[in-house]
Structure 1
Amino acid sequence: MADASPAPFVDRRDWRAKVRDWAEDVNLVPDLGQNIGSLEWFRGLATCTALCACALALSPGFRPIPAAPEPLLGQKQYQEMRSQMTTPLALGADSGRHMAPTDMVSPLAETPERPQIELSAAIGDGDSFGRALSRAGVSSNDASQVMDLVGNDVKPGKLKAGTRLDIVLGRRPTRNVPRPLDHLAFRARLDLAMELNRVNGVLQVTRIPIKVDATPLRIQGVVGDSLYRSARAAGAPPKSIQSFLRVIAQQIPIEDIRSGDRYDIILDYRRAETGDVEVGDLLYAGLGRTRGKSLDMLKWTNGDRTEWFEASGVGQRRGVLSMPVSGHVSSSYGMRRHPILGYTRMHAGIDFAASYGSPIYAATDGIVEYAGRHGGHGNYVKLRHGGGIATGYAHMSRIAASVGQRVRRGQVIGYVGSTGLSTGPHLHYELYRNGVNINPNSVKFTTVAQLTGKALANFKARLAQLKSLRVGLHTSEPAKVAQAGGVVGATAKGK
């Protein structure tokens, strides 16, 4: 039997050295962002997976810790707690308790009312006097009394938007009735303020007249780059400038107004002693031209018609036969082959090609004789103009006039369509004399108003009166004004 050989001796220091050398050669935690797919990368992935598995296995978990539930608050305890918080303030103190009762605080049986309420209201656009009072808390009975008291001075719906109403509502006997109106003050007109006060339980009205200077306002200046900008620089309101340009455009093209021309605008103007002003309509439009005839236009009422007259007393041209639609003539009056019926027959009017829905205008003043469906004409309107003359408008998509209605030249009476015997949207326009179709191009309506006698004398006197009004400041050096690109002018009032 052989002797057993002794086990080899292993020095621990040598073993640790070998392990250390192996660890230096083998990287167990490599950067997984590099060398993806290599043996070293898979070794690092295995190490990361093992560490994550160990972390999950050794996690303690998150089970809830049992505890006794909080007792629910009763209504009384809840209100007590809530009264100590800011919640009542945020909710408008609807808890009824603003603080807990103490020796210094005792609850009230009911909240006392204010002896009176002072407020200010205003009439809005499209609003009415009665609705404004109702919104302010005035009872319907008091509002009705107010309307009865001021009815002679304030017509329904005539108070301007923005009119302020100073209102005082008094004490009421019980909470079940509205507060009585104790005081109301407002500006009924530029020349009249009104106050209503309750005296011995009865509303009484006091009218306060206000002095008003009604001298017209005159604005003069020199045209620079633009008449509109020049007049605005001189203080003319935009609405007045637009009216001025419309009047001038009836006499000359606007583009003929040149730099250096002088404009003269006179407006209806009222100034109250309180400082309030009211700018009215354009009364006079003048244009001094460097080239061409100067213009003097005055607004004048002749009979029942108000219109613009030249300085010589010649008024506007009325009733001129105008284009009934914005378009071009596509078919004239006369014999033609009908595009639908296929045979030649009389075309008793003029066709104007226009886009669908374009407005159709009355060619001159008249009365609507017919409005509705009319055979091959489709939707059709016929106007009677007097003297046996009438006009017809056919193939409308929609009618905007009614039988018996009086229309003015240029008023919209319908819209272009393709109803009836029509191949596309257009207007078929006809002219009648004593009920018989005639060529629309054969008649022109031209009438001019002319003042004579006493009417002409009164007109010229008014024109001289307005042109004698003073202007506070104006330049006498048009060249400098034109260089400045605007107007050096000013507004003034006086005689």
Structure 2
Amino acid sequence: MLERPRAFVAAQPLPAFGRAAALRPPEPRFSLVVDLAEDVLSRRWWRGVATLSALVTLTALLAPMPRALPPGPVESFGPDQLRQEEALGISSLASGSETGLVMAETSRARPITAAPERTARELTLLFSAGDDLFGLLRRNGASAGDASRAQALAQAAGAVPAAGTSLALRLGAPDGAGRPIERLHYRARIDLELTLVRGSDGQLAAERTGIAIDRTPLRIRGAASGGLYWALRAAGASPAIAADYLQAIGASLDVGSEVANGDRFTLVVAQSRSANGEVQTGGLLYAGLDRGAGKDLSLVRWPIGGRPQWVDADASPEPVSSGLGRPVDGPVTSTFGPRVHPILRFTRMHKGVDYGARWGSPIVAVADGQVVRAGWAGGYGRQVRLAHGGGLVTSYSHMSRIVAPEGGMVRRGELIGYVGSSGLSTGPHLHFEVLRDGQAINPAGVTMVSRPAIDQGMMAAVRARARMLVGG
């Protein structure tokens, strides 16, 4: 077999694996354009450095020498001008920059013979606490006569604005006595708007506009778990409503030990809802508790002797005896008797009962009484003492805040303060004591007798009210 002769090809170097062969055009033997990033420290690189240094030196020799600016008049600034300069500087409010300042007059200002006056002014005013309508209108330019009549019309209509009310005011062209009121409008209550307008006789007149209100009360239901107070808050009750509920049922049972997980609570709260969606929430009207073990509660707020009180719709109007209720929702952490003091570290008599509770938990009175002390009491911190007659006194210590006024009367279950750690204390808790004739006694052995001031006819009305509130 004849084979075709093979051609011999000179071996060529192959490019490295993964890199394309770079083909560079031939460079001239001499060039002023040198890339100083290549061939560092070569002869060609040093020639480029020399060329660059020569160009920089030539530029420096040919550049004109700097000369000082001709001096001008020096103007000294006074404190007012310096304040204006600081206000006009670019700076954040957090750094102390001021805004809204009027620019100080300079020599470039030229006086004018007359300035145009707006024929009307549209203002939005905010009625503050302690303010009066006459003074508010006068401060914003209204004439004294119109401001006085506006206040009289508002009082006659029973529509005096409350603190926080927004008022829309329109003032006319000024005259010698000020600006006349052309229109004043505001919402006096959730169910009433008041508008003052100038009538055909030139006098201000009031126009009342009623707003439809739905007064269906708000019902809140839930199950007690992880502490009754926090269960109430999780169900949607406000802190004040939750405290009122605990105060109400605390007069009938021990909130800390007699309310079990799974017990169902019902709250009915006064509420007003206007046609435009505004909502106002009132006080607690009903406090119910369905217990898995024990007597259920159905408490209605009812006026007795001119004062609203909690009445159990299922109770009998007969005197009953019961032990002291628990003053706070929390477990007992230290009982009555000798113990080693947690701070002083020696054995001493513990004259009360300690309840562990979160900071700020509400504290209620365990029985009706008079506040004989409400203030600081040394190692006891903030303390409230209640006298209950017959030489019996209850004491509540280490509070974070006191609510009950000294000398006032409180009812069983009424809020008197909040849990804290004031005085000689290792953490937030309530130290509760019972004293008879000045001597501390064990609270577990005290029995109180309560006599409801309500008759059978009133009790029937209370039960009807309870059925209406819970929708039964």
TM-score by length of 2: 0.55
Given that residues 268 and 470 in structure 2 are in contact (C-alpha distance below 8 angstroms), is that contact kept between their aligned partners in structure 1?
Answer: no
Over 3 Å counting, the alpha-carbon distance change for 1:110 and 1:318 in structure 2 is farther
- 1:356–1:416 contact (8 Å) kept in structure 2: no
2:188 counterpart residue number: 188
Matched, 1:147 2:151: yes
Deviation at 1:188, TM superposition (A): 2.5
* AA at the equivalent of 2:194: M
Q: Which amino acid aligns with 2:56?
A: L
Match of 2:434 among 431, 434, 447: 431
Q: Which of structures 1 and 2 has the bigger CA Rg?
A: 1
**Native 8 Å contact 1:319 1:447 kept in 2:** no
1:63 paired residue number: 64
Matches within 5 A, 1:377-392: 381-392=384-395
**Residue aligning to 1:330:** 334
| Other-structure match for 1:417 | 422
Would you say the 8 A contact 1:313–1:451 is kept in 2?
A: no
**Separation of aligned partners in 1, 2:277 and 2:402:** 49
Deviation, 1:439, is 1.8
Q: Secondary structure at the match of 2:388?
A: strand
Q: For residue 62 of structure 2, what is the amino acid of its counterpart? A: G
Change (3 A) 1:300 1:276: same
- The answer to whether structure 1 residue 440 and structure 2 residue 443 are counterparts is yes
Q: Distance in 1 between matches of 2:308 and 2:140?
A: 41
Distance 1:378 1:256, change over 3 A: closer
Counterpart contact for 2:304–2:453, Cα < 8 Å: no
Name 1:14's counterpart in structure 2: none
Shift in CA distance, 192/432, structure 1 to aligned 2, threshold 3 Å: same
In 1, distance between residues paired with 2:460 and 2:315? Answer: 9
Superposition map of 1:294-443 within 5 A: 298-307=300-309, 309-312=311-314, 320-323=324-327, 328-330=332-334, 332-333=336-337, 347=349, 349-350=351-352, 352=354, 361-364=363-366, 365-371=368-374, 381-393=384-396, 403-406=406-409, 409-412=414-417, 415-419=420-424, 428-443=431-446
Shift of 1:404: 2.0
Query: Quick one: higher RCO (CA 8 Å, sep 6+), 1 or 2?
Result: 1
Structure 2: which amino acid aligns with 1:417?
S
Match of 2:262 in 1: 256
Pairing 1:127-138 to 2, within 5 Å after superposition: 130=133, 133=137, 137-138=141-142
1:114 aligns with 2:97: no
Q: What residue is the counterpart of 1:474 in the other structure?
A: none
Alignment RMSD: 6.2
**Pairwise CA distance, 1:432:** 1.4
1:245 CA displacement: 12
Residue 54 of structure 1 aligns to a residue whose secondary structure is helix
User: Any conservation in 1 of the 2:401–2:417 contact (CA below 8 Å)?
Assistant: no
For 1:151, give the aligned amino acid: Q
Task: Tell me how far apart the structure 2 counterparts of residues 467 and 219 of structure 1 sit (CA, whole Å).
Answer: 8
Question: Any conservation in 1 of the 2:127–2:163 contact (CA below 8 Å)?
Answer: yes
* Cα distance change, pair 183–253 in 1 and its aligned pair in 2 (3 A): same
2:262 is matched by which residue type in structure 1?
D
Change (3 A) 1:110 1:435: same
SS at match of 1:208: strand
Provide closer, same or farther for how the CA distance between residues 338 and 65 of structure 1 changes in structure 2, counting only shifts above 3 A. closer
Structure 1 CA distance, aligned partners of 2:397 and 2:294?
43
Relative distance call for 1:443 and 1:141 in structure 2 (3 A) is farther
CA contact (8 A) 1:381 1:393 kept: yes
Query: What are the within-5 Å matches in structure 2 for residues 263-274 of structure 1?
Result: 269=272
Counterparts of 2:35 and 2:48 in 1: how far apart (Å)? 11
Q: Counterpart in 1 of 2:208?
A: 208
AA of the residue aligned to 2:394: T
Q: In structure 2, what is the Cα distance between the partners aligned to 1:55 and 1:289?
A: 98
User: What is residue 75 of structure 1 aligned with on the other side?
Assistant: none
CA change 1:418–1:327 in 2 (3 A) is farther
In structure 2, runs of 5+ residues without a counterpart are: 1-27, 71-99, 106-110, 224-234
Whether 2:172 is the aligned partner of 1:170: answer yes
TM-score by length of 1: 0.53
Taking a change above 3 Å as real, the CA distance of residues 319 and 194 of structure 1, as seen in their structure-2 partners, is: farther
User: What letter corresponds to residue 422 of structure 2 in structure 1?
Assistant: G
The structure-2 alpha-carbon separation of the partners of 1:373 and 1:211, relative to structure 1 and needing over 3 Å to count, comes to: closer
